[in-house]
Amino acid sequence: MKVDFKIVEYRSSAYTDVLALQEAILREPVGLKFTPEEVADDKDYLHIGGYINEELCCATALVPEGDNVRMIRVATAPAFQNRGIGTLLLKYCEGLVKERGFTMITLNARERAVPFYQRSGYSIEGEMFMKLEIPHLKMFKKIV
């Protein structure tokens, strides 16, 4: 599967598409929208889109936090799920993070997605916690 990954410029039309995809997959199913607080700092994040034949199929955002990067809003469009695209997205982000000198990726994984991250080498840290009424676990991967 050939997926082209791009860094998407804040407030570009591609950024609008990325945010819409993430909202449709991560918020609308639980009856929510992104809050202004959630997107307020987006100018400081790296926004990533994955494209197949120019069509946006997956996205995430990377939040720099010192030597670490927190990965947020990981989403693959339903029509493209379970084809390995999410795994390619993780790989792309790990390469980018390494290139920029960060040493660790952290994330809050929905419990259902934990095996997805574990298969790519992410480890659980700490206890389960609730966010948006969904069980989550903190996960991390050292980037070497």
Ligand X SMILES: CC(C)(COP(=O)(O)OP(=O)(O)OC[C@H]1O[C@@H](n2cnc3c(N)ncnc32)[C@H](O)[C@@H]1OP(=O)(O)O)[C@@H](O)C(=O)NCCC(=O)NCCS
Residues that bind ligand X (CB under 6 A): 25-26, 74-76, 81-87, 109-110, 112-113, 115-116
Q: Is the CB of 102 or the CB of 117 nearer to ligand X? A: 117
The smaller minimum CB distance to ligand X, of residues 13 and 82, is found at 82
Q: How far is the CB of 125 from ligand X (least distance, A)?
A: 14
Beta carbon of residue 70, minimum distance to ligand X (angstroms, whole number): 12
**CB 10 to ligand X: min, Å:** 21
In the structure encoding, which two tokens stand for residue 99, read together?
A: 């290139």
CB hemisphere CA count around 88 (13 angstroms): 20
Contacts of 143 (CB under 8 A, 6+ apart): 94, 97, 98, 102, 103, 104, 105
Q: Which residue, 29 or 98, has its beta carbon nearer to ligand X?
A: 29
Q: How far is the CB of 111 from ligand X (least distance, A)?
A: 9
Would you say 31 or 101 has its CB closer to ligand X? 31
Rounded CA gap, 32 and 26, in Å? 9
Taking the complex as a whole, the smallest distance from the CB of residue 74 to ligand X amounts, in Å, to: 4
Q: How far is CA 9 from CA 16, 18, 59, 111, 127, in A?
A: 10, 10, 13, 30, 35
Q: Which residue is nearest to ligand X (CB)?
A: 86
Residue with Cβ nearer ligand X (115 or 126):
115
